[in-house]
Structure 1
């Protein structure tokens, strides 16, 4: 599958209660932890500066989240006063019987968890959703999950295996002439 070559910014949601407990979250609708709420609030200046300095705008063309509350809560605190557009297709991978178990029990990505979602199905769902968003909006802010970031890494770099993206660490994706066709950098060089 290919990703439409248009610029966007991606951020993983802030720390959820499952993240704090080191549990596999997947489809489970865990809310933000208190620390996660602070992370999201602390991201607001970074995301606002990107608009003012990079886009000469006071609003993102769209702020997209999954339908899980941890992404919507992150957007609520990180980009206040903007309408949030939830996409069901951007939900994290369904880890089936592994939902809620310690993260150390997570299987390799290419292995389908018992009663869970196969990697290929997950990747197709995510790329279709991202392409739909990129067709409609000039430079969206997408707040989703670490699995979505792994899909992006797989499509761009050929592997889902990469360092876990930090909570609310916005990453800029800009089409380029680089080896992989993309310039991928932390937004404003900041990480939360």
Structure 2
């Protein structure tokens, strides 16, 4: 599958109650933890800085999330002035019987968890959703899940295996015009020295 070559910013949701307990979340609709709420609030100035100083815009063209509350709560606190648009297709992988189990029990991404979602289905639904967003909006902010990030890594770099993305650690994805690759850059808070 191919990803439309347009720039966007991606961030994984802030810490959920399942993240804090080191449990597999998947489709389980776990809310943000107290620490997650603080993480999302602390991300607001970073995302605002990207808008004002990099994009020279007042608002994101869209703030897209999954339909799970941990992504919507993150967007609510991190982009308080924006309308949030949830996409069912941006949900985390359905880990089936592994939902709620310790993260150490997670199987490899190419394996289908018992009563769970095959990797090929996950990748197809996520790329379809991302392409729908990218075809309509010039510079979207997408707040979703680590599984979405792994799909992006697989499509761009050929493997879902990569370091786990931190909670609410925004990353800029910009197509590289020279070699059909992508510039993937973590966004840090600018210093105001």
TM-score normalised by length of structure 1: 0.97
- Measure how far apart 1:177 and its partner are: 3.8
Distance 1:167 1:33 in 2: 12
Cα RMSD over matched residues?
1.1
Between 175-184 and 127-136, the greater mean CA deviation after superposition: 175-184
Corresponding position: 1:71 with 2:58:
no
Aligned pairs, number: 190
CA drift of 1:187 comes to 1.6
User: In the TM superposition, what whole-angstrom CA distance separates every residue of 1:70-98 from its partner, at most 9, and x where no partner exists?
Assistant: 00000000000100000000000000000
CA apart distance, 1:119? 0.3
Structure 1 distance, partners of 2:138, 2:157, is 23
Matches within 5 A, 1:85-96: 85-96=85-96
Contact 1:27 1:94 in 2 (8 A): yes
Structure 2 residue 136 is the aligned partner of structure 1 residue 136? yes
Q: Which residue is 2:124 aligned to?
A: 124
Match of 1:98 in 2: 98
Distance in 2, Cα, partners of 1:43 & 1:95: 28
CA distance in 2, matches of 1:177, 1:64: 25
- C-alpha distance in 1 between matches for 2:74 and 2:115: 29
Match for residue 165 of structure 2? 165
Q: Deviations over 1:159-191 (max 9, x none)?
A: 00000000000000000046561000012477x
2:114, 2:180 → 1: CA distance? 34
Match in the other structure for 2:147: 147
- The answer as to 2:15 corresponding to 1:29 is no
Residue of structure 1 equivalent to 2:61: 61
Partner Cα distance (1:125, 1:56) in 2: 32
Contact 1:50–1:188 under 8 Å retained in 2: no
CA contact (8 A) 2:95 2:117 kept: yes
User: Partner residue of 1:16?
Assistant: 16
Provide, for residues 19-44 of structure 1, a one-character-per-residue CA deviation record: whole Å limited to 9, x for no partner: 00000000000000000000000000
